Structure 1
Amino acid sequence: MPTITLKIDVDTYRGSREGTPNLVRLLTQHQANATFLFSLGPDHTGWALRRAFKPGFFQKVSRTSVVEHYGLKTLMYGVLLPAPDIGLTCAEQLREVAQAGFECGIHTWDHVYWQDNVRNRGAAWTQKQMQKSAQRFQEIFGFAPKTHGAAGWQMNPYAFAELDKLGMDYASDGRAQLNDDGSLFEPEIGPYRLAIDDKILHCIQMPTTLPTLDELLGRNINGSSIELDNIAEHILKLTEQPRDHVFTLHAELEGQKLAPIFEKLLIGWKAQGYQCTSMAEYAQAIAQQHTELPSRPLHWAELPGRSGELIVA
């Protein structure tokens, strides 16, 4: 049976308190599994306003109604309002996800700070950020983190090396290259090991193979505008041919105003014969195949519908 591995990025204080419980209820209702990846430090979402000077930023904001989905208060954190500490103030909500039977892992310490800086930072800065996340995770859940999914699909060589040092066997820190319609540029892309400076790292990378909702909404694809009433159907067309996929969703989007679209996807994927799984289940399936995974170099590229470069396999 083909699988859709559901990777849920929880970026913000609001996403932790409101979107995450909504997703737990929805997934439980549809008997779907998933992995929740948490931001564990301060919510400095307001700092993202600096991206206004980056190419493509305003186009993406106008398409995806950032204020509507994230809320004006969230966009003021770190600017006009103090940044709430997610790991301290939302610890009980985070533990409830694990208690409900869902895998939990690390997204980042400070989402905006990491996403906007990590590519050009050195070993000391990178290790400090990741070790703070790992320590906070241990304090909240009582066990060491087993997986990771990078904020904004942004990493650097030191960060990947730190995953090995932290003993993580699998992560989802990058993307597969996509065509303009969201289909895979390389149809056979799948899990791989990262090769950096002629060293093949241990931690398996599971690249996201489908476009996210915010990358599709409002775009004109093949002569049709992708809107709320047809976006689920567009994604389901991308999964018509059975193969394993990784889909990234966000507690702030699919856990709130876009929840009806996510529910359509859950129903549609079940009808297509897919099983929705966690990253841990996907990693177990990979191990059972007993096949040698390919290695790939660290590579950056742009993806349709998203501004700036990401880590892309």
Structure 2
Amino acid sequence: MPSLVLKIDVDTFRGTKEGVPNLVRLLKKHQAGATFLFSLGKDHTGWALRRAFRPGFFQKVSRTSVVEHYGFKTLMYGVLLPAPDIGACKSEMRAVQEAGFECGIHTWDHVVWQDNVRQRGKEWTQHQLQQANHRFKEIFGVAPDTHGAAGWQMNAYAFQQLDQFGMRYASDGRAMLNEDGSLANTAYGPYRLKIDNEVATCVQMPTTLPTLDELLGRTINGTEITTSNIASHILSLSKDPRDHVFTLHAELEGQKLAPIFEELLIGWQKQGYHCVSMASYFATLQNTDLPVYPLSWASLPGRSGELVAQV
């Protein structure tokens, strides 16, 4: 039975308070496993407005109704409103652990990490990750087993820090996709990362399917992708059984787009997939001779800027 790894990025204070509990209920209803990756510091979502100068940013905003999904208040955090501390949502986070779901680190400060890490040095990078690691242990009482980078943005020092933490697996990058969201190379999947002739210990599980915000509003093969047909499009990409990693967001699939996610869960189970956490999937990779890929960057259809990619 192929695995469909569900990786849930929790970016914001609102997503933690509202989207996360909704997703826990939905996953329990369909007996699906998943990994929740938490942002653990301040919610500076409003600072993301600086991305307006990046190519493709306005197209993405207009396609995905950012205000509708994130809320005006969230978009003002750090600008006109004080940035709330997401780490203060301890009860909501612990409830996920108590419900039996794997929890890991997404980031300390989502916007700061996504917009800066590629250009930053070792000291800055280590400080960001160590803050997140300390807060995670404070909340959950255990060290985190895994990490999933905010915006799929990393640098060499960040990958080295994951090894120093003793993390055995993470999902920090993407597999390359064609314009329709299909895999550019069917060989893409779990791998070990090579940086400056050193092979990292931590196994990378790249996201192999497009995200909802990368597809909504685009025209693919002559058809506009809308909320009414996006689930069927993604299911068409997974119709040939193979392991996949799908990234969803507490702010989207955990709120207004929850019906789409439920349609996907039902569809994947009908296709014969076992929806699992990153930990469960990693257990199936034990003693597997994984390929090695160099640290690479690339752009993906429907997303602005470059990100860590399996190339």
Residue equivalent to 2:53 = 53
Question: Within 2, Cα distance between the matches of 1:282 and 1:238?
Answer: 20
* 2:301 matches 1:304: yes
* TM-score, normalised via structure 2 length: 0.99
Give structure 1 stretches of 5+ with no counterpart.
Answer: none
Question: Within 1, Cα distance between the matches of 2:263 and 2:290?
Answer: 33
Residue equivalent to 2:133 = 134
Residue aligned with 1:312, SS: strand
* 2:94 matches 1:95: yes
Question: Within 2, Cα distance between the matches of 1:131 and 1:41?
Answer: 12
**Counterpart amino acid of residue 303 in structure 1:** L
Cα deviation for residue 161 of structure 1 reads 0.1
Deviation larger for 124-133 or 290-299: 290-299
Per-residue deviation, residues 146-188 of structure 1 (Å, max 9, x unmatched):
0000000000000000000001000000000000000000111
**Counterpart amino acid of residue 78 in structure 2:** G
Per-residue deviation, residues 206-265 of structure 1 (Å, max 9, x unmatched):
000000000000000000000000000000000000000000000000000000000000
Give structure 2 stretches of 5+ with no counterpart.
Answer: none
**Counterpart amino acid of residue 78 in structure 1:** G
Question: Within 2, Cα distance between the matches of 1:154 and 1:188?
Answer: 23
* 2:82 matches 1:85: no
Cα deviation for residue 116 of structure 1 reads 0.1
Residue equivalent to 2:185 = 186
Residue equivalent to 2:237 = 238
* Cα RMSD (Å): 0.4
Residue equivalent to 1:22 = 22
Matches within 5 A, 1:165-176: 165-176=164-175
* TM-score, normalised via structure 1 length: 0.99
Cα deviation for residue 12 of structure 1 reads 0.1
**Counterpart amino acid of residue 219 in structure 2:** N
**Counterpart amino acid of residue 28 in structure 2:** T
Q: Percent identity?
A: 73
**Counterpart amino acid of residue 223 in structure 2:** S
Residue aligned with 1:178, SS: coil
Residue equivalent to 1:228 = 227
Over 4 Å off, 4+ runs: none
Cα deviation for residue 291 of structure 1 reads 2.3
**Counterpart amino acid of residue 30 in structure 2:** H
Question: Within 1, Cα distance between the matches of 2:262 and 2:219?
Answer: 23
Question: Within 2, Cα distance between the matches of 1:13 and 1:4?
Answer: 27
Question: Within 2, Cα distance between the matches of 1:190 and 1:270?
Answer: 20
* 2:216 matches 1:217: yes
**Counterpart amino acid of residue 174 in structure 1:** G
Residue equivalent to 1:207 = 206
User: Paired residues, what number?
Assistant: 310
Question: Within 1, Cα distance between the matches of 2:168 and 2:22?
Answer: 29
Residue equivalent to 1:115 = 114
Cα deviation for residue 292 of structure 1 reads 1.1
